[in-house]
Structure formats: structure tokens, C-alpha cells
Chain A
Amino acid sequence: MTMQVGLKVWRFNSRTGERELQEFEIAAPEEATLLDCLDIVKDQHDGTLAYRKSCRMMICGSCGMRMDGAAVLACKMRMYDIAQAGHVPVISAMGNLPIVKDLVVDMDPFWEKFNSVNPYLQPGYEEPPDGKENLITQERMNVIHKEALCINCGCCVSECNAMEADPLFTGPQALAKAMRFVGDPRDGQKLARLEKLNGEHGIWECTRCYFCTERCPKGVDPRDAIAKLGAESMKEGIDRDMGAKHAKWFVTSARTTGWLRETELVPKTQGVVAAIKQTRFALDLALKGKVPPPFPPHVAKDVKESRRLYDLVRDQGRDGYAGIVQGERALGRLSHGHGVGDQTLEEIYDRPGAYHRPFIADEEADA
């Protein structure tokens, strides 16, 4: 069965700098993905269209591009529903990277940042005594399960708002990759890595807009990775950045009063001098009732609960990235609108319309 698919593609000619929105109407098989549709356009309609592709099965990371302004992997994007709805999506190159031609971007800045986090294991462990291997439990590797799924497609970088503001920002992909090594129990350079990541253009530049996590086609959750790096940095005492100070003050105020002590937030984060400069602003806020007066401190009735929570996190050793990792399995969260794993095998086989139970020759004998 074929379907009619309409596409509007932003063409770009790097020689002349011209941009043009070109519309195509094609016939494609019903199971076609966006990449299949682009192949049909290139083969049968306009051979000059340029885009990257390779594996066609979401593992090589070549075909990152934008559809209706949001980064997607073209090979993962099934077009049936879109075509049936009569929608004609706009296809354009990824953001935050220079365009080479049409949908092809220059990935060099991406790879530079990727390389800047030294994306290789730096073994620091002792050689195993009898020349055998060092065994690591699955549980300890689960910590970086999501980060290890990254295929370097660049979709997160394309969407990153912080990078739009500061093109030198290390960015979600490189930072997720950094977490992949910081969280690896075999890596011996954790502290050196964290030190560097706390520097200029590092983790604290992230604005937490969550676009990277939202658009990642593989479930890597780069923003989560950045949060883990921040938490682990603070646990290791690397807290000189304003971002770290800011976060620490939230914890301190919650522990001491159960409230956010906003009046002290600015001096604790930006320092006393910066705070004095903002006195006027603070007074205005206070007069309008936007911030409570610092004295006497306003202590919450159930502050003991918040203190207990604080102690619990410490006692369980969850004050670093461990507090953010919950044995998560990114791909495990994929579901088709129903809970996963809450049915027995018998229930699965007996569902109405289910494919019949397979015949296994020796099953009876085994039972």
C-alpha cells in the first residue's frame, strides 16, 4: 500500500548563501520513515537534495535533522500518521551547527566538544592479581546505562538553548558523554574530569530547559546527566561555581528553616559585593511583600521532616549522582500505552486478539 506524503524542505546553497523552501509531493510505502521519503525525493524527484544517512536503523546517528522545528532522527520518524492527517511538515537542518548544504550540517564543532571531555576510559584500578579480568557488577554499570546509549547524532545539541546563547558551551551531548565516564566505576580520572567540567562553559551553563532530554531519540536524558555531574561535583567539594553555590544554598535553607531563605540567596550565590549592589532591588521586593524579612528567621512547623530527609540522603550515600540514578533503564520506559511487565505470560498469551501461543515440542515432557 502506498500513501501520499507532502514535504517542505529548506534548501541551502553554501556557495551563494541562498535559502529556499521547496515543496515535494511523493508516493511512499505506508511504512515509510522520513528518511525513506527523502530517499524517494532524491532518487525520483530531485537528485540535488543533500542529507546524511547510513544505517537506517537508529544506531549510526547520521540522519539528525529538524521536522517542524524539532530535532528528529529521520530514520526513526514514521510518516503514516502525519501523512494521513494531511499535514505537510517542514524539514530543515539541525540548529546550533553551521549548514554545509540543505540538511547537512558541519559536525566539526560537535566533535571538538565531544573530544574536549576526553571520551575514553582512563583506567585507574590496580591490575587484577592473577592476570584475570576486573569484574564490575551490572548494578554499578546501570548507573550510566542511559548515557551509554548515545549515538552522537547531535539532536540534543541542535536544540540546546544555552548553546544558542553561548556557542562555546560544552553542550548536552559532550556532558552526557562526560557523565558516562564519571559514573563508570573503572574510570580513574573522576575528580580531574569534574574539575574541568566545573570550569568555564561547563555544566553550570545549562539553563535546564530540558529540550535535550525531550528531543533525544535514544532516551539518553542529557539534562539528567548534567544534574548528576552537578550533584557529584558538590559531593566531592567542587562547589566554587555560582551554580553550585546556588544549589547548596537551597539545601542549607531547606535543612535549617524548611523554607527557601531568599534574602540570603543572592549573597550566598553571587557574593556580598554583588548582593550590596542589589540592595535597592531587594528593598523594593520586600516593600511589595515579595520576599520575607530575614529576621527573625521564618521556620517551618515541620522543619524536622526536611532535616530528616537531609540526613537520610547522607546516610544512604545518595548525595552525589546516586541520588538522581534510580536504576533507570531508558529504553525500558518505552511503552505502548500500557504498563510494562505487570502481566503474567499466561495473561499475555490469552489477551483477546493475541498471536497464538507457540508450540514448543518438549514443553509437555518438561512439565
Chain B
Amino acid sequence: MLDMRHLGAERIIDRLPGSRELSMTFAGVDPIYDPVPVRPGAHYHMGGVETGNDGETELTGLYAAGEVACVSVHGANRLGGNSLMETITFGRRAGRAAAEWALANTTVDLPESAKADAERELKALLDVSSGERPWQIRNDLGTSMLENFGVFRREEQMTRQVEIIAEVRERYERGVVVEDKGDVFNSDLTQAIELGNMIDLAACMLQAGVARKESRGAHARPYDYPDRDDENFMKHSISRWAGDGPELSWKEVRYTKFDPMERKY
């Protein structure tokens, strides 16, 4: 329970109107009068596609911005305002750079096979007529990730989750049924594709999480590595997809004006 009553009606209405609206709508609780039931939830994705200051990525012509991108300004902490920086500042820069690139490069050299591969994958996904619906797999993925890779992380749970992900992937690759075969706003298809991406992403997160033997920002391992270890882990985790699994590497942290320091509040 989160008790905000001591703040008083005026401050709650003035300063926390959005939180009050959420509490009243979803929990039926007015925080002026009662404590609000709370639980962990995925609020914001730190990390993401590695970009430079103009949203450019490793792939020429591909730009990333917002929650999907990682300009690496804030590190592993979800500080108030992370997302503002990603959208307002770097979103603007990425948008501008992407537009400039698109205007200067009207055609892109793509191997014919890339397009054929994508089309074949889509067709294969749409052709499955019997098997599991994606939602069952998605639910199992979400539930197990929350349990084993949630707020506080334990080595053995993370290792177990790696196995669970392998099972989930096997189920997914056996073929999931997409009921919508149409080509207008087919969110059944996009959700099935996204599920595949989520499984890949979970594998990357787990590999990096197990390897990072320290606690930093949102990566908390209070049972085996409760402290931050700048000597060994003051570095970015970089995941690349290598054929059938993620490949982890590290990248130096570049800092200029401010020296990184432990958060002590």
C-alpha cells in the first residue's frame, strides 16, 4: 500500500493529479482518503538500440528515437525525465537527421534476397493453420520474466529463466496461428511478429543480466552482488544477434562533464 494521505488534499490535487486519476480509475481509491494498492510494473525501457547523438545506428539509414533508442545519457537509472530527454532532445535530433538522410538518399541498396526473405517469413507465419495462439506463449513469457527477471534478481532464477525462454522459443518456432489473414490493420500478425522479437530480447536481457555481477540502477542483485562495481562493470552491455542466440560484448562508458557516482538517496 502506498499511503499519500499525509500530503493533504491540496497538494495531491495540485501536484499529483495524474496519479490520483489513475488510482481512482483503476483501484477505485482516492489517495486523499485511502492508501493505494501498488505493485511493480514495466514503466519504461532503459537501454535499447544503440544510437549516436543524432539517432543514427550501426545500420546506415536506420535511425532510432524515444523509448526504443539508447543514447546512453542516463545509464541504468530510471530518473524522472529520462524519457523527456529521449523524445524532446534526441527525438528532434533523430528526426532531423533521418529526414536529411532520406532526402539525400532516395534509393537504398538492399539485396533482393532480403525482401524475399521477409516475404517468405510473413507467408510462413500466415500459412500456419493449427497450433497455439500467440497469446498463450506471450502470457507465459511475461509471467515467467516478471517472476525470474523482475525487480530483485537471483542467479539461479535467471539461469532457470534462460531455460524457460528456450522452451518458449521452441513453442513459438513450432508455429503459432495468426487468425487474421488480411492486409488491413492486421494487429494479429504484428503481435505475432512482436512476440518473436520479445523472445529474442528476453534472451539478450538474461545473458547481459547474468553476466553483470553487480547491482546498478534497475539491475538489483541484493542476494549475491548488492554493490555497484565500477572497477569491473563501468561499461555498457552490448547484445548482438548471432545466428541462433545473443552475443554479449562490452563498451566503454564515455563521460565528459560529470563524473559518474553512486546514487545515495
A interface with B by C-beta (< 8 Å): 14-15, 31, 42-44, 46-48, 50-51, 57-59, 76, 78, 100-102, 104, 329-332, 334-336, 340-341, 343, 345, 348-349, 351, 354-355, 358
Contact = CB atoms under 8 A, between A and B. Distances in A.
Nearest to B188: A47
Given A44-B135, A46-B179, A47-B179, A100 B33 contact: no
A335 B133 CA distance: 42
Given A48-B180, A355-B3, A348 B32 contact: yes
Size category of the binding interface on chain B? 20 to 34
B5 A336 contact: no
Interface string B152-163: 000000000000
A76 B30 contact: no
Interface of B: 1, 3, 5-6, 8-10, 13-14, 17-18, 20-22, 24-26, 30, 32-35, 133, 135, 177-180, 182, 184-188
A65 to B, nearest CB: 14
B179 A58 contact: no
B10 A44 contact: no
B5 A348 contact: yes
A341 B9 contact: yes
B14 A100 contact: no
A329 B13 contact: yes
A351 B33 CA distance: 9
8 contacts: A31-B26, A42-B187, A42-B188, A47-B177, A47-B179, A48-B179, A100-B185, A330-B17
A31 B37 CA distance: 13
Contacts of B188: 42, 47-48
A329 B184 contact: no
Nearest to B180: A48
Contacts, number: 91
Main DSSP-derived SS at the A contact region: loop
B13 A47 contact: no
Contacts of A343: 9
Given A340-B13, A341-B13, 8 more contacts: A15-B182, A48-B179, A48-B182, A57-B26, A78-B26, A340-B30, A343-B9, A348-B32
Contacts of B5: 345, 348-349, 358
Nearest to B6: A345
A209 B103 CA distance: 46
Contacts of A100: 184-185
Contacts of A31: 26
Which are the 6 A-B pairs with shortest beta-carbon distances?
A47-B179, A341-B9, A43-B135, A331-B17, A332-B13, A47-B188
Contacts of A14: 184
Contacts of B24: 334, 336
Contact of B133 (A47, A104, A345): A47
A9 B114 CA distance: 39
A280 B32 CA distance: 62
A330 B25 CA distance: 15
A76 B25 contact: yes
Nearest to B187: A50
Contacts of A358: 3, 5-6, 35
A344 B188 CA distance: 52
A358 B135 CA distance: 41
B135 A334 contact: no
A57 B22 contact: yes
Nearest to B30: A336
B32 to A, nearest CB: 6
A341 B33 CA distance: 10
B259 to A, nearest CB: 25
Contact of B178 (A47, A50, A57, A101): A47
A331 B21 contact: yes
B9 A340 contact: yes
A105 to B, nearest CB: 10
Contacts of A47: 133, 177-180, 188
B96 to A, nearest CB: 15
A102 B185 CA distance: 10
A341 B34 CA distance: 13
Nearest to B21: A331
A42 B180 CA distance: 10
A340 B13 CA distance: 9
Nearest to A355: B35
A76 B5 CA distance: 24
A202 B32 CA distance: 41
A101 B133 contact: no
Contacts of B187: 42, 50-51
B1 A355 contact: yes
Nearest to B138: A43
Contacts of A57: 22, 26
A331 B32 contact: no
A355 to B, nearest CB: 5
